[in-house]
């Protein structure tokens, strides 16, 4: 990839701070379609006689605030990269003070330094985007329902004979409403998957693995963008925070451990899957019991099982065939 103009964008709710590294200039535009058009006109004016393909934009993913920008750049054929916030933060080192202009400049410097290894963003399918939004909405509602249930349970425990029916009924009605909405969202998710042959195939393949449930399968498809965003299961294991790393310095050898920098949601789901596999998968249960009997650490054993499940997830997708439990055929 041959880029000559590196454009860093700091995205906020209402504005875009844009910095052209090549020409050391900065300008602010509205975060809307008119602002996007103005930004492109300004960039082309500053860049002069330069090909469309020589431009590359870079910005941090800011959820809803950056979605319209992503769609605009993709629809108009511009090359761009969406940088994970943590990756960008760690690359900048120690900083004193903060401004949107400085952030835009730093992003432009980042994409310039990474120009040889820059991964351009590929927009997921519309179905996958809908699936992502619905899954996120479901998680929020499940979290809210759990909070209402906890508050209701605490109240009943502390005041069992209060007779405060209005409080109890109102709380229960909210819980019932959330139950209905969650069920509705889950039905919509199921319909989306059924309508897309590729997503349905991947979903069925993942569910063929003992221990992998529907929600984990959906989350894996979303996070891997239909298994196109990660080269192999080891890279995803690092992203999920379950890849073990050595802890060594000089002559001091510490215990190998995972890194705290992780996607905590998928890490929690894989932990629950590992626990389910230990209970209902004879192979995993035997492996777990054997290691524990040998005095191995419980969490390190659980982490190995998480990695085993993850490797199987990527294997069934790569082979395009369901998981076969050969353990039950063993003599």
- Structure token digits, residue 181: 């909405």
Q: What class is the 5-113 domain? A: alpha beta
8 Å CB contact between 118 and 8: no
Helix (H) or strand (E) holding 10: strand 5-11
What is the rounded distance in angstroms from the CA atom of residue 141 to the CA atom of residue 144? 5
Q: Tell me what pLDDT residue 90 has.
A: 64
Can you give the residue ranges of every domain in the chain? 5-113, 126-195, 233-329
The three-state DSSP-derived secondary structure of 149-203 is HHHHHHHHHHCCCCCCHHHHHHHHHHHHHHHHHHHHHHHHHHHHHHHCHHHHHHH
Instruction: Encode pLDDT of 12-64 as tens digits.
Output: 999 999 999 988 899 999 999 999 999 999 999 988 877 888 899 999 888 78
Which parts of the chain fold into alpha helices (H)? Answer: 33-47, 64-75, 85-92, 100-113, 126-158, 165-195, 197-207, 214-223, 233-240, 264-280, 282-293, 298-319
Q: Map residue 255 onto helix, strand or coil.
A: strand
Instruction: Encode pLDDT of 124-173 as tens digits.
Output: 888 998 999 999 999 999 999 999 999 888 888 888 777 778 888 898 99
8 Å CB contact between 259 and 239: no
What is the rounded distance in angstroms from the CA atom of residue 324 to the CA atom of residue 321? 9
CA 163-165-170 angle, 5° bins? 150
Query: Rounded mean pLDDT of the chain?
Result: 87
Q: Tell me what pLDDT residue 258 has.
A: 66
Starting at the earlier edge strand, list the strands of the sheet with 79-83: 25-30, 15-20, 5-11, 55-60, 79-83
């Amino acid at each position: 990839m041959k880029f000559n103009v590196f454009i860093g964008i700091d995205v906020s709710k209402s504005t875009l701070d844009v910095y052209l590294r090549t020409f050391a200039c900065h300008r602010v535009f509205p975060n809307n379609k008119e602002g996007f058009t103005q930004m492109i006109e300004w960039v082309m004016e500053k860049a002069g006689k330069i090909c469309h393909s020589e431009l590359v934009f870079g910005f941090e993913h800011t959820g809803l605030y950056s979605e319209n920008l992503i769609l605009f750049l993709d629809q108009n054929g511009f090359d761009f990269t969406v940088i994970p916030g943590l990756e960008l933060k760690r690359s900048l080192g120690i900083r004193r003070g903060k401004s949107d202009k400085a952030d835009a400049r730093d992003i432009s410097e980042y994409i310039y330094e990474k120009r040889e290894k820059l991964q351009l963003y590929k927009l997921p399918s519309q179905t996958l985007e809908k699936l992502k939004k619905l899954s996120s909405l479901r998680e929020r509602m499940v979290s809210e329902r759990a909070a209402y249930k906890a508050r209701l349970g605490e109240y009943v425990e502390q005041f069992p004979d209060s007779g405060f029916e209005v409080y109890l009924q109102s709380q229960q009605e909210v819980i019932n409403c959330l139950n209905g909405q969650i069920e509705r969202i889950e039905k919509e998710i199921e319909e989306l998957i059924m309508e897309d042959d590729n997503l349905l195939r991947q979903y069925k393949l993942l569910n063929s693995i003992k221990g992998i449930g529907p929600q984990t399968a959906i989350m894996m498809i979303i996070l891997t963008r239909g298994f196109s965003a990660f080269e192999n299961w080891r890279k995803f294991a690092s992203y999920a925070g379950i890849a073990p790393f050595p802890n060594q310095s000089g002559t001091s050898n510490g215990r190998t451990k995972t890194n705290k920098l992780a996607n905590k949601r998928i890490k929690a789901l894989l932990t629950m899957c590992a626990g389910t596999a230990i209970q209902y998968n004879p192979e995993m249960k035997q492996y777990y019991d054997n290691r524990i009997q040998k005095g191995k650490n419980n969490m390190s054993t659980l982490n190995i099982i998480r990695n085993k499940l993850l490797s199987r997830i990527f294997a069934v997708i790569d082979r395009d065939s369901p998981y076969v439990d050969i353990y039950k055929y063993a003599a």
